[in-house]
Amino acid sequence: MSQAAAQSKKVSFRAKESTACPICDENHQKEQMFQGGGRLIAGKLAQDLRRLYEKNRKFGRVSPLDYVMSVCPRCLYSSFPKDWNSLNPADNEAIRMATDSRRSYIEKILGPLDFTQDRQIVLGAASYLLGMDCYQLRGASVAPTPKKAVCAIRAAWYFSDLHEEFPHIGYDKIRDFLYQKAAVIYGHTLELMQNGNEPVDQAAGMLGPDTDNNWGFDGVIYLNAFLTKKFKDQMAPKPEDQVLLLSRAKRTLARLYGSGKASKGKPGPIVEMTRELYDEYNAILEAMGGEK
């Protein structure tokens, strides 16, 4: 079989150059996805800004999210490629010291993992859980908070898919936990956008939250409102606290909705989804006796 014919049957390939782990010095060949060739069949855009993909008859399940995170197969250090080597000594030491606990934690959830193998749904899920864990140990200079938010919502998508495939394992509980984590972290990201305690602009190119459209800071505002509405009961058990929580999210959403109406440059889908979400907020707050 020719090399071209072999490639036409594969989803991914290994980079020729080795990548060295800055934590443990392990060398590995990063896996990357082939572009084109009819591998991706785009479906609809979900309410949480996830691009759904149809199963490919030739290639089976294909997801570009599988290949985004750089993960060391030895120590399981995980990050977005941009941040792979930008570790200060304190971050490096903290991540190195947490290697055993990181492996134990991820294997309790997903079982033994081998990142020398080709990426698939389990390794994809693990890459984002590991990313959340490692960014927890990174300093403010790399803007870890918005990156943890993206990792959390992408991990939630993976556990949603895992629950569909294995409905009796309890992946739905992990999915909901991750969505709630994403809701909290997106709220913190909004605060950072206002107070400047992290250089959130550094994360602009990877805010996504998916890979086909980078909705950037508009996506942060929308997702904060979407997730707050979805998990208001968990985030604020008392009705009066829910009204305050929802009112705050609605005011931020209103600015996005207003800017969308005023600017022809805003992407159509997010403007329309923001309008629908804004109407839902009005109805919920009116039913709860809050602001209209």
- 14-68 confidence digits (pLDDT tens): 999 999 999 999 999 999 988 877 788 888 999 999 999 888 778 888 889 999 9
Number of domains in the chain: 1
Kindly report the pTM of this predicted structure.
0.91
Question: Does 70 map to a domain?
Answer: no
Q: According to the model, what pLDDT value does residue 163 have?
A: 97
Classify residue 118 by its DSSP letter. Answer: P
The Cα–Cα gap between 55 and 44 comes to 13
The Cα–Cα gap between 84 and 82 comes to 6
In sequence order, the 6+-apart residues with CB closer than 8 A to the CB of 222 are 49, 215, 253, 256, 270, 273, 274, 277
Other C-beta atoms lying within 10 Å of the C-beta of residue 228: 24
Q: According to the model, what pLDDT value does residue 264 have?
A: 58
Question: Does 53 map to a domain?
Answer: no
* Helix orientation angle between 171-195 and 144-165, rounded to the nearest 10 degrees: 160
Classify residue 56 by its DSSP letter. Answer: B
185 or 61, greater pLDDT? 185
Question: Does 111 map to a domain?
Answer: no
| Predicted confidence band of residue 10 (pLDDT cuts 50, 70, 90) | confident
Question: Does 136 map to a domain?
Answer: no
Other C-beta atoms lying within 10 Å of the C-beta of residue 104: 9
Please report where in the chains the tokens 């000594």 appear, as a residue. 89
Which range marks the domain in which residue 209 is found?
Answer: 146-291
Mean pLDDT, residues 247-276 taken together = 78
Question: Does 43 map to a domain?
Answer: no
Question: Does 59 map to a domain?
Answer: no
Q: pLDDT tens-digit profile of 195-254? A: 999 999 989 889 999 998 899 999 999 999 999 999 998 888 898 898 999 999 999 899
Classify residue 43 by its DSSP letter. Answer: E
The Cα–Cα gap between 92 and 290 comes to 48
Question: Does 175 map to a domain?
Answer: yes
pLDDT, the chain, mean: 90
Question: Does 91 map to a domain?
Answer: no
